[in-house]
C-alpha cells in the first residue's frame, strides 16, 4: 500500500509542472519562423562584419576576410510593438563600395580577396607599411515581408614591406677566399621562414645566416620568405662587391726591439740578431682573424765577395724558425731571431752587402687552405754589412 501511495504523489507533481511550463514553451516556439535550409535572424538585431583571416600581411601575400553577421542588443520597444521580420542569410549579396584596387568579393568562397603584390608600386622606398580600408554593404531579404535591406560594413588591414637589415662581420665588403658571415634580419619574419640563395657559389641556405667564401668580383644574395601557403616568396635582393684581401707588409728589423733597419745602418753579420716579420693589414686582421694568417714559403740570399761573382742561395726553413710566442704577443708573424752568417756559411767579413729576398708568402685562410700572396708588398731587403 505504501508503495502505491508514493507513486501517486510523483504523478501528481509531474502533472502540476506540465500544466505550468507547457504553455510557456509553446508560446516561445510560436515566435520563431524558420526558412528550411537557411539561418534566420531579425534584421534589427544584427550587424554585418568583415573579419580578416590576418589583419597584417606582407606585400606579395593575399589578404582574405570573411563576412559574418554579429547580433546586437535590440533597442527598447514599447509594449505590444511588433518585432522585426525574419531574414534569410543563406545567400546575401555583398557589394564593395570603396577599397584598394584589385580587392573583390568571391561569391564561391564567400570571402574578400586582395593580392598585395603591387601594394608598394610607386611608393617611396622608405615607406614600409600601408593601411587599406574597404567599405560596402551586405544586402539581405526578409523572409516574412520580402523586403530587402542593407547592412553596412567597414574594415581595415595593413600591408608591410619587408625591411631587410644586413649584419656582417666586415661591413660594406666581401673578401675573396675569406670567411664572410652575413645575417639578414627581416622584421616580423622568423628565422626559420627565411631562405637565402647566393649567386657566385650557387648555393641555398635555409635560415637567415650565410657563411661562405664568395667567388668572382661580385655576388648577389636573394632573400625569400615562406608565406602561409608554404611558398618561398622573394622579398629582396642585395648585391655585393667581392674584393681581394689587402696584402701584408714585410720587414726585416732588429730582434732586440731596435726597430726597422735604416738604409745607411750597418749590420754585423755575426753578432746582430734580426727577425723577418709579416705584418697583416690591421683592419683585415681584426675583421678576419682566421684568414689573416701568413707563413714564409721560400727565402733566398744574394751577396758578393769583392772580386767574385754574386752568389745566390736558398735559405733552408730551419735557418729562420717561426717564433710563435713573439707572434702571438705582437699580432704579427715573426721569423727569427737569426744572424746573417747563420743563413749561409759563405758570408764573411769581406761581404759588404747581403740581400734577403722573400720568394713566396702564403696566406692560410679559415679552411686551412694556403693561398699564395704574389704581389703588393716589398720582398727584397738589402742590408749593409761593412
Encode pLDDT of 227-248 as tens digits. 877 889 888 899 999 999 999 9
Cβ atoms of residues 333 and 270 within 8 Å:
no
- Partners of 50 in the beta sheet? 67
- Partners of 382 in the beta sheet? 355
* pLDDT value at 24 more than 80: no
* pLDDT value at 123 more than 70: yes
**What integer is the mean pLDDT of 129-139?**
94
**What integer is the mean pLDDT of 13-20?**
48
| pLDDT, tens digit, 9 for 90 and up, residues 289-306 | 999 999 998 899 999 888
Cβ atoms of residues 323 and 334 within 8 Å:
yes
Which of 73-77, 137-141, 353-357 is modeled with the greatest confidence?
Answer: 353-357
For residues 3 and 122, what is the distance between their CA atoms, to the nearest angstrom?
A: 91
Higher pLDDT, residue 72 or 238: 238
pLDDT of residue 40: 47
pLDDT of residue 18: 44
For residues 194 and 165, what is the distance between their CA atoms, to the nearest angstrom?
A: 13
pLDDT of residue 305: 83
**What integer is the mean pLDDT of 165-181?**
86
For residues 42 and 44, what is the distance between their CA atoms, to the nearest angstrom?
A: 5
Higher pLDDT, residue 92 or 346: 346
Residue from 185, 179, 191 nearest 238 by CA:
185
Whole-number mean pLDDT of the chain?
83
DSSP summary character for residue 322: B
Which of 36-40, 45-49, 72-76, 308-312 is modeled with the greatest confidence?
Answer: 308-312
Vertex 346, ends 345 and 352: CA angle to 5°?
120
Cβ atoms of residues 180 and 212 within 8 Å:
yes
pTM of the model: 0.66
* pLDDT value at 355 more than 90: yes
* pLDDT value at 140 more than 70: yes
pLDDT of residue 162: 87
pLDDT of residue 342: 92
Amino acid at each position: 500500500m505504501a508503495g502505491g501511495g508514493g507513486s501517486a504523489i510523483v504523478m501528481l507533481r509531474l502533472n502540476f509542472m506540465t500544466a505550468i511550463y507547457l504553455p510557456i514553451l509553446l508560446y516561445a516556439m510560436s515566435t520563431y519562423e524558420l526558412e528550411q535550409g537557411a539561418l534566420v535572424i531579425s534584421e534589427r538585431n544584427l550587424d554585418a562584419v568583415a573579419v580578416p583571416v590576418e589583419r597584417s600581411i606582407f606585400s606579395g601575400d593575399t589578404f582574405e576576410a570573411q563576412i559574418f553577421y554579429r547580433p546586437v542588443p535590440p533597442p527598447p520597444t514599447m509594449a505590444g510593438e511588433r518585432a522585426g521580420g525574419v531574414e534569410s542569410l543563406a545567400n546575401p549579396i555583398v557589394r564593395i563600395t570603396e577599397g584598394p584596387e584589385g580587392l573583390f568579393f568571391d561569391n564561391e568562397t564567400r570571402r574578400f580577396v586582395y593580392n598585395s603584390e603591387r601594394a608598394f608600386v610607386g611608393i617611396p622606398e622608405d615607406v614600409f607599411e600601408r593601411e587599406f580600408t574597404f567599405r560596402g554593404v551586405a544586402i539581405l531579404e526578409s523572409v516574412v515581408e520580402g523586403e530587402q535591406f542593407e547592412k553596412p560594413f567597414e574594415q581595415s588591414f595593413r600591408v608591410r614591406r619587408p625591411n631587410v637589415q644586413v649584419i656582417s662581420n666586415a661591413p660594406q665588403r666581401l673578401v675573396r677566399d675569406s670567411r664572410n658571415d652575413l645575417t639578414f634580419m627581416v622584421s616580423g619574419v622568423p628565422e626559420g621562414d627565411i631562405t637565402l640563395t647566393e649567386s657566385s657559389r650557387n648555393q641555398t641556405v635555409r635560415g637567415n645566416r650565410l657563411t661562405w667564401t664568395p667567388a668572382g668580383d661580385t655576388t648577389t644574395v636573394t632573400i625569400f620568405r615562406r608565406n602561409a601557403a608554404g611558398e618561398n616568396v622573394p622579398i629582396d635582393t642585395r648585391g655585393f662587391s667581392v674584393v681581394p684581401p689587402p696584402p701584408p707588409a714585410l720587414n726585416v728589423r732588429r730582434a732586440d726591439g731596435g726597430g726597422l733597419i735604416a738604409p745607411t745602418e750597418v749590420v754585423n753579420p755575426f753578432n746582430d740578431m734580426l727577425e723577418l716579420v709579416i705584418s697583416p693589414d690591421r683592419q683585415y686582421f681584426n675583421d678576419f682573424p682566421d684568414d689573416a694568417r701568413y707563413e714564409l714559403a721560400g727565402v733566398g740570399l744574394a751577396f758578393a765577395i769583392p772580386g767574385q761573382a754574386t752568389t745566390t742561395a736558398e735559405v733552408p726553413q730551419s735557418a729562420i724558425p717561426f717564433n710563435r710566442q713573439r707572434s702571438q704577443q705582437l699580432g704579427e708573424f715573426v721569423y727569427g731571431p737569426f744572424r746573417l752568417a747563420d743563413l749561409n756559411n759563405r758570408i764573411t767579413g769581406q761581404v759588404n752587402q747581403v740581400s734577403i729576398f722573400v720568394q713566396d708568402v702564403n696566406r692560410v685562410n679559415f679552411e686551412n687552405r694556403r693561398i699564395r700572396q704574389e704581389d703588393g708588398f716589398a720582398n727584397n731587403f738589402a742590408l749593409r754589412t761593412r
